[in-house]
């Protein structure tokens, strides 16, 4: 076995700045029913089919008597909160809310703040408020609230739970004869994170703080730009001004993840949260463009959108004498939030966005030259739209470009050197969303290996954050995620501990070092991309004709195929290194979908696919499926029209793939060999803490060793994460990997199989 030696040349190099942070989006009920501590679901009767076709104004409420209890909108609480409950009790009537999951989480000894808005129609009346469990058992002493105002007025009450339950209910009882209007029925734990009102669940807030993130990207994601242009439309894009001020005046919003967003957790709270967890705020504003529905504001009407951006900066950083600074001060935060970063758009594709971005950029830089502006490069790691974003960023001198990729571990391993060739003088990459498809330890270790490469390239990579952050286990829209929870428990994923290690032990600068005698990398796959050829339908009826394979100097033609649903038929296979496939394809079905052509297909879980009309018939992509995990390697926007026949060609030369439609090049990609290095490492120094951090990741099943030819770590400490490759945390099973924090001495650094380690020592920086 070779003696791998670490020597430290000890020169401080690239600063790491705010490299590792987090991304919050209200997906998987991350905000409402999640981080936002409000316990009542549908507190303001604003749920509607626009949010979700199963929703109606009384969703999540149980009404004892529909004759006495109705939702109305004639004389609302205000113009942003249009629906309320009318109570005209012909007999004693009750309304019951179960919150989220199996019910509200009441904890013995904890206090809960109840409030509601009421307008009394009939003089003085009594409403009884109770906290119970799902069997009706009393959890706290009931309280009677006397309501008497003929104007909308807020009433409140406090409860102390006498028992613990996870099936809690909030029950309001109206005696016979009661005639009142009721709205904004709210229940919060008194003990929120940092004890702020209208804020964040304490346990989830602590879980974020424990990550030590350098920045917080918010509030989305697709959530930001999916919607109507008019900010007053119920299905509007996320407009930040709708999300501040008294919660009863924040309009409910359609959340494109299929539920209702109260906006109770809004921009002010996100700024507060950033401050509370020590992260730089990084808001994402819509760029007057919704790529999902091809909507964009005319260029002549960009004024309001640009003002939104300028006003946001003033809201965050302005003095109390400025219009928006004054609003921040009135909300209770006299000091500025020191906003440094601002993103315009999320995953934008299409020229419409990039025609508009320069207007935002110029106006913002003219007034606030120090704000770092973030452009976008779409949802794929390569291809025409990705290049369009980067071109725009270079032309406009954006500070950063947001890249997103959700890919298999093989992609991460094959792309370890992705950023080595980026231009350190150009805009920096912001990996605003990434994850490797599963919440198993192997995926987390591979993510760690990739993060050492992000650190190493800190002169080209400015920021990086895993996505999505949160998932309420009973409302999954998307996996993998970083932190799982329900109403009472939190289970950080195994990936969380990798992110935490890199954030907590990030350091301020890279340090020059050298590893000698590193064992050879293991080549897992560098062979040709050959095997089966299979046309496939992708959820709509398609017809394949004139299928031809040219390989080894011979052309063979195969029978045409009419396919529907997900039907696939292998027409032949090839063992040639270089080959060409041609076919004609026609979509005959109506669904907004297209077709696939699989090549190099070993089986359904291990194949290359040309996706024609993917993502709702909007893209042409080269996809791989590796052990059932898919990766979109490159993308070009393209739509397959019904009843139009397209002549398609695929050329495979070794590991190089090119596709054409009707003679026009569509996709081109070189699939790098899949190589596993015995170790992935990086050394940083933290000037503030006077700490060295040497990170080492072992993605293999063999132990690795490094001889430390330096005394830097002779009296240091070691934080090490190890586990079985398929280890995965779940609620109630939160420690499926081992985390050890031990003193370290000597010069032999052992990297166990599937491990992520950081060696640290407190030392003044010095040259050896
Ligand atoms: O992180 C989930 C989603 O993935 C985000 O909303 C979007 O930006 C991306 O497509």
- Give yes or no for a contact between 4 and 516, defined as CB atoms under 8 angstroms apart: yes
Cα dihedral sign, 273-276-277-280: positive
pLDDT average, residue stretch 637-644? 98
Distance 591 CA to ligand 1 centre (A): 23
pLDDT grade, residue 766 (50/70/90)?
low
Residue 765 pLDDT grade (very low, low, confident, very high; cuts 50, 70, 90): confident
Q: 247 near 180, Cβ under 8 Å?
A: no
For residues 698 and 678, is the Cβ–Cβ distance under 8 A?
A: yes
The DSSP H or E segment spanning 452 is helix 441-456
Beta-carbon count within 10 A of 137 CB: 11
Of 269, 287, 271, residue with least CA distance to 279 = 271
pLDDT for 768 beyond 70: no
Return the exposure string of 493-505: e unless at least 16 CB atoms fall within 10 Å of the residue's CB, then b: bbbbbbbbbbbeb
Judge if the beta carbon of residue 346 lies within 6 A of ligand 1. Answer: yes
* Residue corresponding to tokens 């316990």: 39
748, pLDDT greater than 80: yes
pLDDT for 526:
87
Contact criterion met (CB below 8 Å) for 188 and 170? no
For the CA of 223, the closest atom of ligand 1 is: 6
Alpha-carbon span 217 to 316, nearest angstrom: 15
Average pLDDT over residues 595-620: 96
For 615, phi then psi, to 5°, come to: 45, 60
pLDDT at position 10, please?
Answer: 78
Summarize the confidence of residues 461-469 as an average pLDDT.
Answer: 98
Rounded to the nearest angstrom, the distance between the alpha carbon of 126 and the centre of ligand 1 is 47
Instruction: Reply yes or no on whether 489 is catalytic.
Output: no
Q: What are phi and psi of 232, to 5 degrees?
A: -90, -5
The pair of structure tokens assigned to 731 is 């609620």
Coil, helix or strand at residue 508? coil
State in Å: Cα 120 to ligand 1 middle: 45
Using CA atoms, how far residue 417 sits from 319, 445, 639, 688, in Å, is 44, 17, 33, 29
Share of the chain above pLDDT 70, in %: 99
* Ligand 1 close to Cβ of residue 222 (< 6 A): yes
pLDDT in tens, 293-315: 999 999 999 999 999 999 999 99
Q: What's the mean pLDDT in 723-727?
A: 98
Q: Measured in angstroms, how far is the CA atom of residue 379 from the centroid of ligand 1?
A: 8
Say yes or no to pLDDT of 477 above 80: yes
Residue to mutate (ligand 1; options 404, 614, 615; most atoms within 8 A of CB): 404
CB 753 within 8 A of CB 724: no
Structure tokens, 507: 């350091």
Residue 449, pLDDT > 80, answer: yes
The predicted structure's pLDDT at residue 2: 66
CA distances from 148 to 127, 145, 631 (A): 11, 10, 61
- Contact present, 81 and 248 (Cβ < 8 Å): yes
- Three state DSSP letters for 278-317: CCEEEEEECCCEECCCCEECCHHHCHHHHHHHHHHHHHHH
Of the listed 347, 433, 455, 728, which one is catalytic?
A: 347
Query: Which residues have C-beta within 8 Å of that of residue 251, sequence separation ≥ 6?
Result: 80, 81, 232, 234, 242, 263
Task: Report which protein residue has its CA nearest ligand 1's atom 6.
Answer: 221
pLDDT digits (tens, 9 = 90+) for 314-359: 999 999 999 999 999 999 999 999 999 999 999 999 999 999 999 9
Rounded to an integer, the average pLDDT of 258-263 is: 98
pLDDT tens column, 283-296: 999 999 999 999 99
Residue found under tokens 């919607």 = 227
- What average pLDDT is seen over the chain? 97
Mean pLDDT in residue range 17-36: 98
The string of pLDDT tens digits covering residues 193-249 is 999 999 999 999 999 999 999 999 999 999 999 999 999 999 999 999 999 999 999
Residue 340 Cα to ligand 1 midpoint, Å, equals: 23
pLDDT attached to residue 184: 98
pTM: 0.97
Which among 22, 289, 478, 614 is the best mutation to test ligand 1's pocket, defined by most ligand atoms within 8 Å of the CB?
478
Mutate to test the pocket of ligand 1, among 222, 380, 476, 478 (most ligand atoms within 8 A of CB): 222
Indicate the SS3 state at residue 185: strand
């Amino acid at each position: 076995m070779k003696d791998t030696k670490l020597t430290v040349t000890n020169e401080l190099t690239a600063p790491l700045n705010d490299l590792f942070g987090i991304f919050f989006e209200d997906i998987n009920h991350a905000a409402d029913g999640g981080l936002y501590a409000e316990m009542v679901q549908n507190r303001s009767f604003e749920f509607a089919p626009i949010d979700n076709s199963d929703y109606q104004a009384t969703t999540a409420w149980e009404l004892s008597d529909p004759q006495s209890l109705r939702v109305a909108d004639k004389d609302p609480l205000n113009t942003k909160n249009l629906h309320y409950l009318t109570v005209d009790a012909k007999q004693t009537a009750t309304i019951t809310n179960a919150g989220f999951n199996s019910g509200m989480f009441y904890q013995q000894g904890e206090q809960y703040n109840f409030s509601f808005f009421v307008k009394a129609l009939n003089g003085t009346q009594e409403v009884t408020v109770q906290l119970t469990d799902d069997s009706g058992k009393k959890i706290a002493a009931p309280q009677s609230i006397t309501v008497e105002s003929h104007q909308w007025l807020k009433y409140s009450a406090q409860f102390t739970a006498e028992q613990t339950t996870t099936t809690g209910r909030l029950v309001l009882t109206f005696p016979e004869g009661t005639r009142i209007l009721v709205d904004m029925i709210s229940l919060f734990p008194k003990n929120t994170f940092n004890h702020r009102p209208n804020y964040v669940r304490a346990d989830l807030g602590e879980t974020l703080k424990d990550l030590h993130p350098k920045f917080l990207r918010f509030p989305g994601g697709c959530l930001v730009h999916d919607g109507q242009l008019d900010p007053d439309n119920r299905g509007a894009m996320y407009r930040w001004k709708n999300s501040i001020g008294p919660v009863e005046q924040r309009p409910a919003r359609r959340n494109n993840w299929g539920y209702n967003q109260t906006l109770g957790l809004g921009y002010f709270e996100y700024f507060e949260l950033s401050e509370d967890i020590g992260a730089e705020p990084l808001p994402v504003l819509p760029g007057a463009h919704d790529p999902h529905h091809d909507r964009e504001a005319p260029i002549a009407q960009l004024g309001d959108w640009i003002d939104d951006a300028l006003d946001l900066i003033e809201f965050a950083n302005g003095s109390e004498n400025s219009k928006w600074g004054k609003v921040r001060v009135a909300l209770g935060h006299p000091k500025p939030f020191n906003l440094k970063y601002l993103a315009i758009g999320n995953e934008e594709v299409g020229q419409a966005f990039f025609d508009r971005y320069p207007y935002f950029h110029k106006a913002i830089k003219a007034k606030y030259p120090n704000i770092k502006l973030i452009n976008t490069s779409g949802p794929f790691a390569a291809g025409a739209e990705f290049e369009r974003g980067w071109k725009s960023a270079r032309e406009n001198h954006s500070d950063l470009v947001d890249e997103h990729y959700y890919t298999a571990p093989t992609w991460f391993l094959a792309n370890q050197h992705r950023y080595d060739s980026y231009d350190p003088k150009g805009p920096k990459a912001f990996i605003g969303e990434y994850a490797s498809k599963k919440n198993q330890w192997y995926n987390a270790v591979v993510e760690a290996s990739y993060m050492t490469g992000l650190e190493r390239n800190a002169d080209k990579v400015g920021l990086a954050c895993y996505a999505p952050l949160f998932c309420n286990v009973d409302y999954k829209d998307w996996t993998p995620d970083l932190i799982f929870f329900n109403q009472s428990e939190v289970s950080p994923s195994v990936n969380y501990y990798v992110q935490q290690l890199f954030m907590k032990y990030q350091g301020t600068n890279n340090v020059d070092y050298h590893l000698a005698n590193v064992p050879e990398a293991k080549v897992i796959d560098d062979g040709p991309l050959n095997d089966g050829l299979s046309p496939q339908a992708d959820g709509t009826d398609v017809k394949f004709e004139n299928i031809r394979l040219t390989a080894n100097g011979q052309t063979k033609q195969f029978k045409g195929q009419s396919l529907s649903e997900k039907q696939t038929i292998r027409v032949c296979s090839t063992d040639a290194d270089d080959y060409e496939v041609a076919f004609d394809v026609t979509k005959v079905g109506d669904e907004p979908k297209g077709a696939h052509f699989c090549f190099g297909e070993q089986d359904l879980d291990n194949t290359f696919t040309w996706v024609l009309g993917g993502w709702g018939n909007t893209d042409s992509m080269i996809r791989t499926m590796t052990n059932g995990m898919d990766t979109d390697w490159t993308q070009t926007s393209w739509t397959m029209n019904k009843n139009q026949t397209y002549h398609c060609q695929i050329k495979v030369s070794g590991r190089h793939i090119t596709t054409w439609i009707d003679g026009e090049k569509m996709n081109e990609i070189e699939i790098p060999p899949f190589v596993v290095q015995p170790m992935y490492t990086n050394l940083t120094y933290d000037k503030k803490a006077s700490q060295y951090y040497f990170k080492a990741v072992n993605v293999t099943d063999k132990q690795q060793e490094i001889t430390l030819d330096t005394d830097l770590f002779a009296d240091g400490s070691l934080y090490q994460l190890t586990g079985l490759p398929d280890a995965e945390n779940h609620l109630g099973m939160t420690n499926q990997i081992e985390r050890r924090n031990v003193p370290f001495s000597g010069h032999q650094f052992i990297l166990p199989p599937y491990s992520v380690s950081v060696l640290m020592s407190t030392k003044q920086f010095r040259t050896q």
